[in-house]
Amino acid sequence: MNKFKHYYGIDISKDVFDVVNQDGKHSQYENNCKGYKQFVSSIEEEACVVMEATGVYHVQLADFLHGKSIFVSVVNPLVIKRFIQMNLRRIKTDKADAQMICKYAMSQELREYKPCPEFIKESRIIVENIDLLIKSRTMLKNRVHALKHKSSKNRSIIIKPILDSIKSLNKQISKLEMELENLVKNNFPELYSLLKGIPGIGKATALFFIVLTEGFEKFESAKQFTSYVGLSPSEKSSGSSVRGSSAISKQGNPKIRNLLFMCSFNACKSNKACRELFARIVAKGKSKKLALIAVANKLIKQAFAIAKTRIPYDPNFRSMKPSII
């Protein structure tokens, strides 16, 4: 169990962060360097600070506290949500959330936060920019599609500048993808090559795997990453009357989830284990969509097994250590 004298729970947002200690004392600070310094000056010795992973808002504060040699733990927000539900807490305010995070810290075993490498931060910025450009390109493509179904004498004149914009976006996306690939190849050349060697996993998916898992150091198992991605099964059943169809949670990173789902189509053709898995599930009368989700999970397990062992993909390989995946 944790051995700290003082605990601080933090609920953080874009502009401010609320802090509650184990005595229930509440404080609020600006979410900037000035606020960080004010908070640090108020922290007692042998302290533990816990916060939720809230997109990009928590990173700067967590890095700042870590740099000051203060124990920091960043917790999955779903874990905090379940903890609040278990404690039957219905009040929903920033102060109340910070208080519950503090209680969680005092009762649970915590994992210390470690800042990710600088190249991972750069990679994530590139990924975010790629996503924004892809969304813009999709909007323009939809616009072109709509215009093509409208009868207009000036249709071609209207469509041409949109097509030019799409071409420009394609060039920008390609350039950023090359930058991302170079960053990953320079830092994880062997791992990148091994992941691409898995039938069904393409270049983009291999890159995202490495960036999101920080070289497979951020997650201890494939199961943890599956939950993070949002591919964990979620079954709806209660007693004898409630029987809903099983589905994935979809609470996670949608980009890698979509990539894996697309990869599962190719894996069913080229990856022996995935092909056999797909056939078994369909033979049992299950839907093809459910089978593809299972294949996506299988790809995650294969990726983690190969990343942890550094053994290249072998279609006839059978793991002797199930705990690895």
HSE (side-chain half, CA atoms, 13 Å) at 180: 26
Extract the tokens encoding 196.
């691409």
CA 289 to the chain's CA centroid: 22
Question: What single-letter amino acid sits at 186?
Answer: N
The pLDDT of residue 1: 55
Q: Where are the alpha helices (DSSP H) in 87-117?
A: 94-107
Domain presence at residue 178: yes
Structural domains of the chain, count = 3
Report d(CA 282, CA 271) in Å as an integer: 16
The pLDDT of residue 234: 53
Domain presence at residue 196: no
Nearest to 134 by CA among 171, 175, 180, 169: 169
Residue 192 in contact with residue 166, Cβ under 8 Å?
no
Q: Enumerate residue ranges in the chain where pLDDT < 50.
A: 235-244, 322-325
Q: If 0-12 CB within 10 Å is exposed, 13-18 middle and 19+ buried, where does residue 2 land?
A: middle
Question: Are residue 183 and residue 236 in the same domain, yes or no?
Answer: no
Domain containing residue 23: 6-107
pTM for the model stands at: 0.72
Cα torsion through 307, 313, 316, 321, rounded to 10: -10
CATH code: domain of residue 81 = 3.30.420.40
Question: What single-letter amino acid sits at 137?
Answer: R
Question: Are residue 215 and residue 314 in the same domain, yes or no?
Answer: yes
| Interval 73-102: pLDDT, tens | 998 887 888 888 887 666 678 888 899 999
Domain presence at residue 305: yes
The pLDDT of residue 242: 43
Report d(CA 292, CA 275) in Å as an integer: 10
Nearest to 277 by CA among 299, 259, 260, 256: 299
The pLDDT of residue 20: 94
Domain presence at residue 192: no
Question: Are residue 81 and residue 178 in the same domain, yes or no?
Answer: no
Question: Are residue 216 and residue 158 in the same domain, yes or no?
Answer: no
DSSP string covering 214-235, please? TTTTS-SSHHHHHHHHT-SEE-
The pLDDT of residue 325: 42
| Interval 146-173: pLDDT, tens | 888 776 667 788 889 999 999 999 999 9
The pLDDT of residue 294: 93
The pLDDT of residue 323: 45
The pLDDT of residue 93: 84
The pLDDT of residue 152: 65
Question: Are residue 221 and residue 311 in the same domain, yes or no?
Answer: yes
